[in-house]
Amino acid sequence: MFELLKSDSVTKARLGRLTTPHGVIDTPVFMPVGTQGTVKALDPRELVEMGTQIMLGNTYHLSIRPGMEIIAAAGGLHRFINWPLPILTDSGGFQVFSLAKIRKIKAHGVEFRSHLDGSPLFLGPKEAMEIQRTLGSDIAMVFDECPPHGCSVKEAKLAVERTIRWAGECREQPRAPGQLVFGIVQGGCDPHLRGPCAQALVKMNFDGYAIGGVSVGEPENEMMRAVEITEPFLPAHLPRYAMGLGTPAQLVELVARGVDMFDCVLPTRVARNGTAFTSKGTYAIKGGAVKMDFGPIEEGCTCFACRNFSRAYVRHLLNVNEILGLRLVSIHNSHMYLKVMQDIRAHLAAGTFAEFRREFIANYVPTRKVLAGRAEKLQE
C-alpha cells in the first residue's frame, strides 16, 4: 500500500510511504543494488546502519547462481542472505536483452544462452514471475523488453507491444504472500509510444509503475524527457520508479519530476575504481593531490569511513590494492546517496525542497579534483 503524504507546491516532488511485508519504506528512496544477493563490498549490517530501507536482487543472475532450488530450500531470498528489510527483484528482462549475444524472441518469452557457460535458457513472463515468487521479494517487476538506445522506430514499437502483452501475462501469475507487482513503461523518448504503453499498463491495475528504457546509453536530456513524457500518465496514488538511475544530481532532478524510487550501481561501481561521490561532485581518491591530505573523504560526512580514516590512507589502500580501500569508498558513496534522499525527504516535509534543489544543483560538479582538502572544478 502506498500513501501520498505530501506534494511539493513548486515541483512535482512527492513525499510518500510504501508498506510491504518486510517493512515500511519512506519515499523518495534510493535502493542499493544487490545483483547477486549482496551489495558489492558491503554487508547487511553496514547497509542498515547507513539507513538502507530496501535493496534489489536480480532475477536472472540469482536463477542461474545459486539457483532456485537452493534459495527455496533456504526459505527464500530474505533468509538466504539474512536481510530483514524489503527487497525488490527485477524480472531479468534487461539482462536477457543486454547480456545475451544470441537470443530468439518468442511469443511468450525469449530463448537465449547463459552469459556464463552458453547453456540454453528461456525466460518469459511465467518464468520470471515464478522465480520472483520463489525468491519471495516484496516487490516483483513484470517481464519486459528493454530495447537499446538508437533502435529503429519499428523495433521500439514492437518492444512496447511485447511489453504490454507480457505485462498482462505477468498479471495473471500467482504471487508470493503480500508481494507487490510493478508494471514497466517502455517507449524510448517517443510520446506516441510512451503514453499508450503507460495507459495500457495502468488499466491492468499494478501496485506501482516503473519508467524503463532509461540509462541505456541515451544523453541525459533524452533520459529526462522520457521521464517527463511518462509521468503524467502514471497514477498519483501509486509509487513511481525510475529504473537504473542515476547520479546524485540526477536523483534530485528526477524527484522534482515526480519520481519516488531509484536504483543504481554507480555508488559501488565507481568506488571500486577509486572515485568518491560528494555533495559537490566526484573526484578520484587515487590521485597524488591527496597523498598528504589527512581530512575525510568528504568534509562533514558522518559515514564510518569519513569518521575514522583520511583521504591519504584510503588513497594508499587503493594504490596497493587492499580490499579495505574499495570497501571504505563503497561505504562512503552508498551513505552519500542515502543521505541525499534523507535530505530530500526532510526538505519535502518542511516545504523547502525547491530551495534545496536549486542549491544542490548549483554546487554539484560531476568531475572534481581535490587540492589542499577542498574540491576544485576540473576544466571540461
Provide the pLDDT for residue 8: 98
pLDDT tens digits along 135-153 = 999 999 999 999 889 999 9
| Helix 311-319 vs helix 323-350: crossing angle, to nearest 10 | 140
Share of the chain above pLDDT 90, in %: 88
Provide the pLDDT for residue 379: 27
Q: Which residue has the higher pLDDT, 247 or 378?
A: 247
At 10, list the grid cell.
513548486
At 139, list the grid cell.
516487490
Domains annotated for the chain, with CATH where assigned, are 2-264 (3.20.20.105), 271-377 (no CATH)
**How many angstroms separate the CA atoms of 214 and 222, rounded?**
9
**Which residues have a catalytic role annotated?**
90, 263
Q: How far is CA 343 from CA 251, 279, 361, in A?
A: 12, 11, 14
**How many angstroms separate the CA atoms of 36 and 61, rounded?**
6
**How many angstroms separate the CA atoms of 202 and 209, rounded?**
8
pTM to 2 decimal places: 0.94
**How many angstroms separate the CA atoms of 368 and 283, rounded?**
5
Is residue 110 classed as helix, strand or coil in its secondary structure?
A: strand
pLDDT tens digits along 61-105 = 999 999 999 999 999 999 999 999 999 999 988 888 887 677 899
pLDDT tens digits along 184-216 = 999 999 999 999 999 999 999 999 999 999 989
Residue type present at position 45: R
